[in-house]
């Protein structure tokens, strides 16, 4: 950094020089771990006080049988769904009675599974920052799959051909996601739209941000809007 500007970035052993830098990586990781303290708009203390969106416990399955009583999209809401929300945002523990979503794309696109089989994806909202190891993963996955078996009245476990679990440590290792959060900052009143971290750094004149942490918020369409906001800022300030 020279005169409040980023002059170069090093990646893959090479050094690149640009006039403008736009960060689409994890906002908190970039600021806290890649920028010196004096160049951070939002230091570590800021992030520790934020409310994070849920993490995502995801189970990918390929099974060797066709399932009845399921659709392409399936939502299960436990009668005590408020309890699940409390486990995620207040208690911050693995949910006892989770609600979840099940995606079965082979119901409408047979090409995504071998003949006579199905592909399934389970998504369970869980608290960010939970301890995540193989034992916990397998136990929680068994809980979800067994519950789904009871709902549809068919066995899944004996027919599993492919199984993969994706959770907190994967989001951290692959995306540097803060505490394994799947979506960044939650949409609380003080973390919505222009109350979110800014699209432009306050400390570095040519550094901008896009993505789920910044204005306007979470979700693919909303993240695309963040890119439009940043584009307009750059166009206004640089005329290009």
Q: What is the pLDDT of residues 162-209, one digit of tens each?
A: 999 999 999 999 999 999 999 999 999 999 988 999 999 999 999 999
User: Whole-angstrom Cα distance, residue 12 to residue 199?
Assistant: 26
pLDDT of residue 108: 97
- pLDDT at 240 exceeding the cut of 90: no
pLDDT of residue 1: 66
pLDDT band at 160 (very low <50, low <70, confident <90, very high): very high
CA distances from 61 to 4, 100, 121, 155, 157 (A): 49, 15, 6, 13, 10
User: Whole-angstrom Cα distance, residue 84 to residue 97?
Assistant: 6
Handedness of CA 173, 179, 185, 186 (dihedral sign): positive
Are 198 and 108 in the same domain? no
- Do 56 and 114 form a contact (C-beta atoms < 8 A)? no
**Residue at which a domain ends, from 174, 193, 211:** 174
The three-state secondary structure class of 174 is helix
- pLDDT at 211 exceeding the cut of 90: yes
User: Whole-angstrom Cα distance, residue 224 to residue 210?
Assistant: 8
The proportion of the chain whose per-residue pLDDT surpasses 90, expressed as a percent, equals 87
What is the edge-to-edge ordering of all strands in the sheet holding 160-166?
A: 73-76, 100-103, 118-126, 55-63, 160-166
- Do 31 and 182 form a contact (C-beta atoms < 8 A)? no
pLDDT band at 83 (very low <50, low <70, confident <90, very high): confident
pLDDT band at 81 (very low <50, low <70, confident <90, very high): confident
H or E stretch at 74: strand 73-76
- pLDDT at 80 exceeding the cut of 90: no
The Cβ of residue 130 has, within 10 Å, a number of other Cβ atoms equal to 18
Are 118 and 147 in the same domain? yes
User: Whole-angstrom Cα distance, residue 184 to residue 17?
Assistant: 29
Are 161 and 208 in the same domain? no
Are 44 and 124 in the same domain? no
* Domains: count for the chain: 2
pLDDT of residue 174: 96
Strands (E), 55-146: 55-63, 73-76, 100-103, 118-126
Are 64 and 137 in the same domain? yes
* Residue 210 lies inside a defined structural domain of this protein: yes
Are 18 and 66 in the same domain? no
Are 60 and 162 in the same domain? yes
The parent domain of residue 213 ranges over 8-51+183-238
pLDDT in tens, 9-66: 888 899 999 999 999 999 999 999 999 999 999 999 999 999 999 999 999 999 999 9
CA distances from 225 to 108, 215, 220, 222, 232 (A): 30, 8, 9, 5, 11
Are 17 and 36 in the same domain? yes
Q: Determine the average pLDDT of the residues in 107-117.
A: 96
User: Whole-angstrom Cα distance, residue 216 to residue 214?
Assistant: 6
Are 136 and 66 in the same domain? yes
Of how many residues is the chain composed?
240
H or E stretch at 229: helix 220-238
User: Whole-angstrom Cα distance, residue 145 to residue 121?
Assistant: 11
Q: Across the chain, what does the average pLDDT equal? A: 94
């Amino acid at each position: 950094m020279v005169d409040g500007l980023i002059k170069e970035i090093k990646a893959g052993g090479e050094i690149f020089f640009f006039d403008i830098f736009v960060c689409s990586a994890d906002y908190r990781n970039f600021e806290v771990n890649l920028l010196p303290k004096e160049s951070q708009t939002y230091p570590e203390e800021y992030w520790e006080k934020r409310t994070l969106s849920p993490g995502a416990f995801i189970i990918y399955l390929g099974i060797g049988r066709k399932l009845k009583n399921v659709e392409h999209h399936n939502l299960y809401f436990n009668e005590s769904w408020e309890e699940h929300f409390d486990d995620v945002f207040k208690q911050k523990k693995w949910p006892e009675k989770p609600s979840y979503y099940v995606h079965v794309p082979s119901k409408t696109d047979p090409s995504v599974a071998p003949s006579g089989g199905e592909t399934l994806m389970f998504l369970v909202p869980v608290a960010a920052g939970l301890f995540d190891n193989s034992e916990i993963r397998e136990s929680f996955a068994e809980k979800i799959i067994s519950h789904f078996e009871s709902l549809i009245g068919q066995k899944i476990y004996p027919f599993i051909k492919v199984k993969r679990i994706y959770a907190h440590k994967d989001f951290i290792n692959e995306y540097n996601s803060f505490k394994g959060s799947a979506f960044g900052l939650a949409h609380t009143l003080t973390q919505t739209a222009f109350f979110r971290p800014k699209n432009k750094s306050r400390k570095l004149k040519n550094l901008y941000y896009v993505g789920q942490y910044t204005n306007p918020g979470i979700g693919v369409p909303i993240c695309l809007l963040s890119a439009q906001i940043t584009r307009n800022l750059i166009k206004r300030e640089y005329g290009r």
